[in-house]
Amino acid sequence: MKREQDNEISKEKLEEYSQLLKANQLKITQPRLRVLDSISDKSTAVSQPELEKILGTEIDRVTLYRILASFEEKGILHKVFDLNGTATYALCSTKCSAHHHHDQHVHFICSVCNSVFCLDEISVPKINLPTNFSLHSIAINAVGLCDSCQEKDA
Protein backbone atom coordinates (compact mmCIF):
# COMPACT_ATOMS: atom_id res chain seq x y z
CA MET A 1 0.00 0.00 0.00
CA LYS A 2 2.74 2.45 0.95
CA ARG A 3 3.96 4.42 -2.01
CA GLU A 4 7.59 5.25 -2.54
CA GLN A 5 8.44 8.85 -1.79
CA ASP A 6 8.21 10.10 -5.33
CA ASN A 7 8.01 13.77 -6.13
CA GLU A 8 8.58 13.31 -9.86
CA ILE A 9 5.59 14.08 -12.03
CA SER A 10 5.72 12.34 -15.42
CA LYS A 11 6.15 14.49 -18.50
CA GLU A 12 2.72 13.72 -19.96
CA LYS A 13 0.99 14.45 -16.66
CA LEU A 14 2.94 17.65 -16.25
CA GLU A 15 1.72 18.72 -19.68
CA GLU A 16 -1.87 17.75 -18.83
CA TYR A 17 -1.89 19.66 -15.51
CA SER A 18 -0.23 22.69 -17.08
CA GLN A 19 -2.93 22.79 -19.77
CA LEU A 20 -5.62 22.52 -17.12
CA LEU A 21 -4.15 25.41 -15.11
CA LYS A 22 -3.69 27.54 -18.23
CA ALA A 23 -7.26 26.87 -19.36
CA ASN A 24 -8.40 28.17 -15.97
CA GLN A 25 -6.17 31.25 -16.00
CA LEU A 26 -4.11 29.97 -13.11
CA LYS A 27 -0.37 30.43 -13.01
CA ILE A 28 1.57 27.18 -13.24
CA THR A 29 3.26 26.76 -9.88
CA GLN A 30 4.93 23.76 -8.31
CA PRO A 31 2.46 23.57 -5.38
CA ARG A 32 -0.53 23.61 -7.77
CA LEU A 33 1.02 20.86 -9.90
CA ARG A 34 1.78 18.76 -6.82
CA VAL A 35 -1.78 19.10 -5.50
CA LEU A 36 -3.24 18.06 -8.88
CA ASP A 37 -0.88 15.11 -9.06
CA SER A 38 -1.64 13.94 -5.52
CA ILE A 39 -5.38 14.06 -6.12
CA SER A 40 -5.39 12.40 -9.55
CA ASP A 41 -3.18 9.68 -8.15
CA LYS A 42 -5.92 8.44 -5.84
CA SER A 43 -9.03 6.44 -6.72
CA THR A 44 -10.89 8.12 -3.86
CA ALA A 45 -11.57 11.74 -2.97
CA VAL A 46 -8.87 13.29 -0.78
CA SER A 47 -9.29 15.54 2.27
CA GLN A 48 -7.02 18.42 3.18
CA PRO A 49 -5.52 16.56 6.18
CA GLU A 50 -4.72 13.61 3.88
CA LEU A 51 -3.08 15.95 1.39
CA GLU A 52 -1.05 17.49 4.19
CA LYS A 53 0.21 14.00 4.99
CA ILE A 54 1.07 13.23 1.36
CA LEU A 55 2.77 16.56 0.71
CA GLY A 56 4.51 16.84 4.06
CA THR A 57 6.27 20.14 4.50
CA GLU A 58 6.30 20.87 0.76
CA ILE A 59 3.28 23.16 0.90
CA ASP A 60 2.15 25.07 3.97
CA ARG A 61 -1.40 24.73 5.23
CA VAL A 62 -2.62 28.17 4.16
CA THR A 63 -1.28 27.77 0.63
CA LEU A 64 -2.88 24.34 0.36
CA TYR A 65 -6.20 25.72 1.59
CA ARG A 66 -6.07 28.50 -1.00
CA ILE A 67 -5.17 26.12 -3.80
CA LEU A 68 -8.11 23.83 -2.97
CA ALA A 69 -10.51 26.76 -2.73
CA SER A 70 -9.42 28.21 -6.06
CA PHE A 71 -9.53 24.80 -7.76
CA GLU A 72 -13.06 24.30 -6.54
CA GLU A 73 -14.11 27.74 -7.70
CA LYS A 74 -12.58 27.18 -11.14
CA GLY A 75 -14.30 23.84 -11.64
CA ILE A 76 -11.16 21.71 -11.39
CA LEU A 77 -12.17 19.93 -8.19
CA HIS A 78 -15.52 19.18 -6.58
CA LYS A 79 -16.09 18.85 -2.88
CA VAL A 80 -17.82 15.91 -1.20
CA PHE A 81 -18.38 15.63 2.55
CA ASP A 82 -17.48 12.28 4.07
CA LEU A 83 -19.34 10.63 6.96
CA ASN A 84 -17.51 12.79 9.52
CA GLY A 85 -18.46 15.93 7.65
CA THR A 86 -14.88 16.46 6.47
CA ALA A 87 -14.56 17.97 3.00
CA THR A 88 -12.88 15.71 0.47
CA TYR A 89 -11.91 16.69 -3.06
CA ALA A 90 -12.09 14.84 -6.37
CA LEU A 91 -11.19 15.87 -9.89
CA CYS A 92 -14.06 17.31 -11.92
CA SER A 93 -15.38 16.16 -15.23
CA THR A 94 -14.05 18.16 -18.17
CA LYS A 95 -17.47 19.83 -18.48
CA CYS A 96 -17.00 21.82 -15.28
CA SER A 97 -16.10 25.47 -15.51
CA ALA A 98 -15.82 28.39 -13.11
CA HIS A 99 -18.93 28.57 -10.92
CA HIS A 100 -20.56 25.77 -12.92
CA HIS A 101 -20.09 22.26 -11.73
CA HIS A 102 -21.58 19.37 -13.67
CA ASP A 103 -20.51 16.55 -11.40
CA GLN A 104 -24.03 15.26 -11.03
CA HIS A 105 -23.01 11.74 -10.16
CA VAL A 106 -23.66 9.61 -7.12
CA HIS A 107 -20.93 9.33 -4.49
CA PHE A 108 -20.25 6.19 -2.52
CA ILE A 109 -18.95 6.47 1.03
CA CYS A 110 -17.63 3.45 2.89
CA SER A 111 -19.01 3.23 6.42
CA VAL A 112 -15.88 1.45 7.64
CA CYS A 113 -12.92 3.31 6.08
CA ASN A 114 -14.84 6.51 5.26
CA SER A 115 -13.42 6.58 1.70
CA VAL A 116 -15.35 8.65 -0.83
CA PHE A 117 -15.66 7.30 -4.37
CA CYS A 118 -17.02 9.12 -7.44
CA LEU A 119 -19.46 6.87 -9.25
CA ASP A 120 -19.12 8.81 -12.49
CA GLU A 121 -21.31 6.46 -14.48
CA ILE A 122 -24.30 6.81 -12.14
CA SER A 123 -25.93 10.18 -12.58
CA VAL A 124 -28.38 11.65 -10.12
CA PRO A 125 -32.02 11.52 -11.22
CA LYS A 126 -33.91 14.52 -12.52
CA ILE A 127 -36.37 15.77 -9.95
CA ASN A 128 -39.48 17.88 -10.36
CA LEU A 129 -39.45 20.84 -8.05
CA PRO A 130 -42.41 22.85 -6.81
CA THR A 131 -43.11 25.98 -8.86
CA ASN A 132 -40.75 28.87 -8.17
CA PHE A 133 -38.08 26.63 -6.72
CA SER A 134 -34.82 26.58 -8.60
CA LEU A 135 -32.27 23.83 -8.40
CA HIS A 136 -28.56 24.45 -7.87
CA SER A 137 -27.31 20.97 -7.14
CA ILE A 138 -28.33 17.54 -5.97
CA ALA A 139 -26.07 15.41 -3.78
CA ILE A 140 -26.68 11.70 -3.44
CA ASN A 141 -24.41 9.66 -1.23
CA ALA A 142 -24.66 5.91 -1.21
CA VAL A 143 -23.25 4.44 2.01
CA GLY A 144 -21.97 0.90 2.39
CA LEU A 145 -18.86 -1.24 2.31
CA CYS A 146 -16.16 -0.57 -0.26
CA ASP A 147 -14.44 -3.48 -2.04
CA SER A 148 -11.41 -3.64 0.23
CA CYS A 149 -13.45 -3.45 3.45
CA GLN A 150 -15.78 -6.10 2.04
CA GLU A 151 -12.80 -8.41 1.59
CA LYS A 152 -11.64 -7.89 5.18
CA ASP A 153 -15.15 -8.63 6.38
CA ALA A 154 -15.43 -11.94 4.52
46 counts as binding Zn ion under rule CB under 5 A = no
Nearer to Zn ion, 7 or 111 (CB): 111
- Please state, in angstroms and rounded to a whole number, the distance separating the CA atoms of residues 103 and 83: 19
Torsion angle (degrees, nearest 10) of CA 111, 112, 113, 117: -30
Size of the site for Zn ion (CB under 5 A): 12
Closest approach, Cβ 112 to Zn ion, in A, equals: 5
Site for Zn ion in 76-95 (CB under 5 A): 78, 90, 92
| Binding mask of the shown chain, residues 119 to 148, with x at each position contacting Zn ion by CB under 5 A | ---------------------------x--
118 counts as binding Zn ion under rule CB under 5 A = yes
112 counts as binding Zn ion under rule CB under 5 A = yes
CB 24 within 8 A of CB 8: no
Nearer to Zn ion, 62 or 154 (CB): 154
Nearest partner of 91 among 48, 59, 45, 24, judged by Cα: 45
Query: Which member of 101, 106, 108, 109 binds Zn ion (CB under 5 A)?
Result: 101
Query: What are 118-121's contacts with CB under 8 Å, separation 24+?
Result: 118/45, 118/80, 118/90, 120/93
User: What strands, in cross-sheet order, belong to the sheet with 46-47?
Assistant: 46-47, 87-91, 77-81
**Contact residues for Zn ion, defined by CB under 5 A:** 78, 90, 92, 96, 101, 103, 110, 112-113, 118, 146, 149
